[in-house]
Amino acid sequence: METGMRLILLLAALLLPPTRAAGAAPQTFPSSAGNLAVEIIAGGLMHPWSLAFLPDGRMLVSERPGRLRIVTRAGRLSPPLAGVPGVYAQSQAGLMDVMLGRDFEQNRTVYFCYAEPAEGGGRVAVAHGRLQENGRTPRLVAVTTIFRQRGPVSHGLNIGCRMVQAGDGNLFVTLGDHFSAADMAQTLDNHIGKIVRIRPDGTAPPDNPFVGKQGALPEIWAYGLRNAEGLAFNPADGKLWEQEHGPQGGDEINIIEKGKNYGWPKVSYGVNYDGTPVGTGKSRMPRMQEPVWHWTPSIAPSGMAFYTGELFPGWKGSLINGALKFELLSRLTLKGDSAVKEERLLQGLRERIRDVRQGPDGALYLLTDNPAGRILRVRPEK
């Protein structure tokens, strides 16, 4: 079995577009901000999923098969960190988001989201550990799982899972509908198709919207979501924005509010993969929240970041979105709570973009999703 999997990965790598080595001359692409230079920072990552910047500028990167690595600013990869739990690595599932705690410089806490093996599939779990770098090999110590998704396990599809931490320390976590359990996104006795809000110890804050409601799980913050793989606070006003995969069409960006229903699978701007209507066949219904933006056809959105840096002054306040299927960056110009214009970038790069982060230097850093994944840095050409 292991030999067969290695052969599959080798064949997949051979079918990828030709890659360029780290240190090679940057590729250039046009944009409204002038030509963009795309530099390769590092390669050799298998389906990298998430990136977090350490205080000294190094990067903590997750790989979907179940590895965490530290990557230096020069692109050197550490060995996989010890202490990471085993994951259910199948299709879209595995080790997913990674995030530094807000108090990382005091206690070195790292949060991560993963598919924990369970019942022949994977159950989304959130854990934290302490990053230890005594000696040559970094590791996570005191690893504790603080949250486990309740509901049917995933077999690798529509699993989520992005995280952010609010200023009060509480965590927001996106949880997918697992493809085959979509109807459960509309009921409150499970965590399928939800965003949950939990304390750093995994318990539900008492002001969550469904605390004390019979038949509802107290961790739920919002519901009626399909497969959210982007989550970020808008620094302009602190509102929580989310983006998710639709079915065939109907990828969405939403502003997430306490206790609100976002409609899946009752309403959608897309259709099922066989062309039949989703749910009611309507794109909107009373008491279900309208998206800020939607894409039809689907671009398969992934990571997202609000741009606040100085390298691209004309882009300040923009929402930058990665796309897997369409292999591009989508930059949305915002006006208040509305997206008013889209610019599509890097369309000639021919890379599935899994994560987007703004670096400490104001550049954009991208993760490419393939068996020979890379970290790319996007900056002005001059």
With H, G, I as helix, E, B as strand and everything else as coil, classify residue 10.
helix
Closest by CA to 94, choosing from 117, 120, 119, 78, is: 117
The torsion region of residue 152 among left (phi > 0), alpha (psi -120 to 50) and beta comes to beta
- Residues 6 or more apart from 297 whose CB is under 8 A from it? 248, 249
> pLDDT (tens digit, 9 = 90+) per residue, 99-123?
999 999 999 999 999 999 999 999 9
Per-residue pLDDT of the chain (382 residues; tens, 9 = 90+): 333 433 444 444 434 444 446 667 899 999 999 999 999 999 999 999 999 999 999 999 999 999 999 999 999 999 999 999 999 999 999 999 999 999 999 999 999 999 999 999 999 999 999 999 987 789 999 999 999 999 999 999 999 999 999 999 999 999 999 999 999 999 999 999 999 999 999 999 999 999 999 999 999 999 999 999 999 999 999 999 999 999 999 999 999 999 999 999 999 999 999 999 999 999 999 999 999 999 999 999 999 999 999 999 999 999 999 999 999 999 999 999 999 999 999 999 999 999 999 999 999 999 999 999 999 999 999 7
The token pair that represents 344 in the structure block: 């599509």
- pLDDT value at residue 322: 98
* Beta strands 36-45; 48-53: pairing state: unpaired
Sheet holding 240-244, edge to edge: 228-233, 240-244, 251-256, 293-295
Measured CA to CA, the distance from residue 267 to residue 48 in angstroms comes to 32
User: What's the CATH superfamily of 47-318?
Assistant: TolB, C-terminal domain (2.120.10.30)
Buried b (16+ CB within 10 A) or exposed e, 193-221: bbbbbbbbebebeeebbbeeeeebbbbbb
- pLDDT value at residue 134: 82
**Over the Cα atoms of the chain, what is R_g?**
20
- pLDDT value at residue 137: 83
Sheet holding 163-165, edge to edge: 163-165, 171-175, 194-198, 220-223
- pLDDT value at residue 8: 41
Domain boundaries along the sequence of the chain: 47-318
Q: How many CA atoms lie within 13 A of 65 on its CB side?
A: 12
- pLDDT value at residue 208: 98
The answer to whether residues 371 and 377 touch, using CB atoms and an 8 Å cutoff, is no
Buried b (16+ CB within 10 A) or exposed e, 156-180: bebbbbbbbbeeeebbbbbbbbbbe
- pLDDT value at residue 22: 65
- pLDDT value at residue 24: 76
Measured CA to CA, the distance from residue 343 to residue 279 in angstroms comes to 31
Measured CA to CA, the distance from residue 165 to residue 150 in angstroms comes to 21
Task: Please give the sequence-ordered ranges of beta strands (E in DSSP) within 234-318, or none if there are none.
Answer: 240-244, 251-256, 293-295, 301-306
> pLDDT (tens digit, 9 = 90+) per residue, 47-95?
999 999 999 999 999 999 999 999 999 999 999 999 999 999 999 999 9
- Which residue type occupies 289? Q
Q: What is the pTM of this model?
A: 0.93
- Which residue type occupies 144? T
- pLDDT value at residue 16: 44
